[in-house]
Amino acid sequence: MYNVSEQFAEINKAGYTNAIKLASLSLDRAERLAKLNLQAAKLALEQGVEAANTVAAIKDVQEFVAVRAKLTEAGVQSALGYSRGVYQIASETQADISALAEEAWAAYTKGVAAWVEKAAKDAPAGSDAAVTALKSSMAATTAAFDQFSKATKQVVNFADASVRAATANAESFTKATTKRRKAA
């Protein structure tokens, strides 16, 4: 006879292993985000000191306007760089978590399928309809998860392309504005 408690122990062990992987992944990404924030804070401090020194040396209105434009451009470039860094970390995290979820789901369905097959072999006579219904339910659940996974990937790819396009447009706008100011 098939030992159900062994099956549940294996499922629990897999869940525990996945929880450890997820915790490790989360801590790694939190560390990367903290480093990015520290770098951004250092850069902001350096730019603030530089801006204060530059503003203190201004002698006329035209110089003030030029300095203001230069400082604004530097601020926009810093913000874009920071946004790119945060987006990259978030995007990588999403991809890694999705891969972990898919891996966990595949292992879970494989384990449940093996359990269903073993249970079907050990089922009493006349329970064919129940076994068939259980197998059908598993197949439908697996197909639904696959469709959900594909749809999620499409949405993520669309969002990624949209963010990249918006970033490129912001960079182009900043460069064009800088060129116009220099030409004027």
Distance from C-alpha of 72 to C-alpha of 115, rounded to nearest angstrom: 64
Q: Tell me the C-alpha distance between 70 and 59, whole Å.
A: 16
Q: Which among 18, 161, 166 is positioned nearest to 96, based on CA atoms?
A: 18
Q: Write the CB contacts of 122 (distance below 8 Å, at least 6 apart in sequence).
A: 1, 2
Q: What percent of the chain is modeled with pLDDT above 90?
A: 30
Instruction: Give 177's pLDDT tier (boundaries 50, 70, 90).
Output: low
Q: Which two tokens stand for residue 82?
A: 């920071």
What percent of the chain shows pLDDT beyond 70?
A: 93
116: pLDDT strictly greater than 80: no
Whole-model pTM?
Answer: 0.71
Q: Closest by alpha carbon to 56, among 47, 67, 40?
A: 67
Q: Which residue has the tokens 């979820």?
A: 101
Between CA 15 and CA 113 the distance in angstroms is 17
Instruction: Name the nearest CA neighbour of 2 among 83, 130, 117.
Output: 117
Lowest mean pLDDT across 28-32, 50-54, 87-91, 122-126:
122-126
Q: Place 180 in a pLDDT band, splitting at 50, 70 and 90.
A: low
pLDDT, residue 4, reads 66
Quick: pLDDT tens for 51-75.
999 999 989 888 888 898 889 888 9
In this structure, are residues 36 and 86 in contact, taking their beta carbons and an 8 Å threshold?
Answer: yes
Q: How far is the C-alpha of 96 from the C-alpha of 20, rounded, in Å?
A: 14
CA 122, CA 93: separation in Å to the nearest integer? 43
Burial 17-55 (b: 16+ CB within 10 A, else e): ebeeeeeebeeebeebeeebeeebeeeeeeeeeebeeee
